A and B are shown apart, each in its own frame.
Chain A
Amino acid sequence: MSEDLHPLERFLRGGMIPHIWCEGCGNGIILNCFVRALEEIEIDVNKVVVVSGIGCIGRLSGYTNTDSYHTTHGRAIAFATGAKLANPELKVVVISGDGDLFAIGGNHFIHAARRNVDIQVICANNFNYGMTGGQYGPTTPLDAWTTTTPYGNIERPFNLVHLAAASGAVYVARWTTLHVRRLTESIKKVLQKEGFSFIEVVTPCPEIYGRRNKMATGIEMMNWFKTASEIRNYSDPADAEITPEKIVVGEFIDVEKPTYDSLLRKMINQIQEKIRGEK
């Protein structure tokens, strides 16, 4: 019966819901914001391809009723690069996790940003490897407890927005899953923007990460986001810290640069015109 359906049902893949995510997990919020963004802008959904890597959020590509592909661990951006370059009409969105995109897949991230390939990357940052039971990763805060930092984390985490900006992304933002309206607006913006865009979404993982770090429920983690978040739009992403006291969020970069795709098509057209002139 229609009243039982989710209002955004048409963007969700039949037969795949309920999702696999834990109670209190923020991945559902990210999925919701993404499909809401699709609903609220004019976009040909037939041309949207959702690509994900491995991990909890990696399952998201299965839940969207679009063309979608679930790659090997870390390779979502490289796969997306191939798909986008092969068919420039596609809108290719990568939605994956911090471990997938910045540990095993880090090299692909910085190079796709450097090239300014026209793909949009949304990263669910939950501070750990959730699906394998909570090991530390490239975004785990200093001193945090995980199953592989039983004495506290001694590795410095990446500042993802700083990394994205330094690598050349044309759009860089960070929100938490508490900022649903702003996150949706950011997603709408990148879906309509050309070039390598990056949105970091700080997301609660109470079941696997939070309960080892004195935030055992989704509510507690969301309360942390609420009290610590500070919106500082267009501030220097190098200073956009994530600490127990402060989570700097906002839009940091929004610029225009020629995309790799446009330069590539221009080169191909010029060469083909030259050949036609020779005949």
Chain B
Amino acid sequence: MTQKRTVLTGRHFMQGDIACAEGAIAAGCRFFAGYPITPATEIAERMARRLPEVGGVYVQMEDELGSMAAVIGASYAGVKSMTATSGPGFSLMQENIGLAVMTEAPCVIVNVMRGGPSTGQPTKPGQQDVMQAKWGSHGDYEIIALAPSSVQEMFDLTIEAFNLSEIYRVPVIVLADEIVGHMWERVTIPPENAIKLIDRKKPQVSPEKYAPFMPSKDLVPTMAPFGAGYHFYATGLTHDETGHPQTDSAKAQQKLVQRLCDKIRKNSEKITKVSANMLEDAEVVVVAYGTTSRSAMSAVREAREKGIKAGLLRLITLWPFPDKEVSKLAKKVHAIVVPEMNYGQIVREVERVAKETPVTFMPKLGEDPHRPSEILDAIRSLS
């Protein structure tokens, strides 16, 4: 049955990139435009095979600039759409990620992070694009980024990414790393009816009354698809609620940019997710995400065995940054350790929120991820 091919319900031994593709299909994604790049190519390969089975479209574009533009085009045509890439391609996509932000096109971008800058180390893991995910395109904006730490989460968080993009009309970035992308693990895919899917709000007014960028109470406008008779106009220029360009009005610029940011900022508590591990009585806490959080989890367990009150706050949402959760934690612990596969990115956010609580940063560049023993040593020295 075609139903059976839509959601591969059951237990599987699966690669992270493949689980991501399956999550997308389960989420209702029916359009993929991309360009091959290590270590995200397997997502494209899986989508090329699977999308036609479910009536969807795979197109391999000439570059990542075109891929991201095509994804927005498909989104505006009313189809859930995505792309997948790694650092160099992510850099090229920034231009049109900005366009997706400005014209509020729901879409998902998967970045399976490798070592940078530039071509860097294509087959090695990295977490060097965390700040780029937030700030990579020009201008002020807010975005959502999720960091899976297992193959199961490559599936689950890809669905979550689609749902969030539909709710907030914002591009959502799945910020994976080479290890979760290439790792094989057990995945449980739930029955189709147990997967909660959310679709963008459609206009409830006649085409004559439709203002494409008139926000509802939640600051998010309804979205008509192309071809439905609404005859609306969308532009990357600063625009008013009708979509008409307002290139000279300070008021229009302020109103639009504030709303684009506020629809995320004011809902950040609804959006952000963390995983709390042994935090109740913890004195030394590791804040980590993605693959790094797995080493951190081992280190925390070992520390507990040695009688050290250690804990792990695993960040699932990186953007908007979970200020509230980190701040609450910082107030009650003695020290925070932040291991990252970069030279200092999310640690800046932790330091900003932690205020007086000392934060120890553990960078890692160009090697395998942190060993649990390294993180354990750091925990010990602080306890």
Contacts and interface: CB of A to CB of B under 8 A. Distances in A.
5 contacts: A59-B245, A72-B99, A82-B71, A86-B31, A272-B52
Interface in B60-103: 61-63, 65-67, 69-79, 81, 95-96, 98-99, 103
B55 interface: yes
Count class of interface residues, chain B: 35 or more
B57 interface: yes
B62 A87 contact: no
Contact of B78 (A81, A87, A272, A275): A87
Nearest to A115: B59
Interface string B167-193: 000000000000000000000000000
Contacts of B56: 268
Given A61-B235, A71-B99, A82-B69, 20 more contacts: A13-B233, A46-B229, A49-B226, A61-B233, A67-B227, A67-B231, A67-B232, A69-B234, A69-B235, A72-B96, A78-B66, A78-B67, A81-B33, A83-B77, A84-B73, A86-B79, A87-B79, A90-B226, A108-B69, A268-B57
Contacts, number: 157
A80 interface: yes
Contact of A82 (B55, B70, B225): B70
B227 A46 contact: yes
A142 interface: no
A240 to B, nearest CB: 26
Interface string B140-160: 000000000000000000000
B360 to A, nearest CB: 42
A15 B69 contact: no
Contacts of B237: 70
A216 interface: no
Contact of B66 (A15, A47, A49, A111): A111
A184 to B, nearest CB: 22
A6 interface: no
A81 B31 contact: no
Nearest to A73: B95
B78 A72 contact: no
Chain A interface size range: 35 or more
Contacts of B33: 81-82
Contact of B81 (A65, A68, A86, A107): A86
Interface of B is mostly: mixed
B73 A80 contact: yes
Contact of B235 (A70, A82, A268, A275): A70
B250 interface: no
B242 A15 contact: yes
Contact of A75 (B2, B66, B76, B242): B66
B61 A85 contact: no
A16 interface: yes
Interface in B225-264: 225-237, 242, 244-245
Given A82-B77, A87-B227, A107 B234 contact: no
Interface string A50-67: 010000000101100111
A95 to B, nearest CB: 13
Contacts of B332: none
Given A78-B73, A81-B70, A86-B74, A111 B233 contact: no
Contacts of B380: none
B52 A268 contact: yes
Contacts of B194: none
A121 to B, nearest CB: 14
Contacts of B67: 78
A49 B227 contact: yes
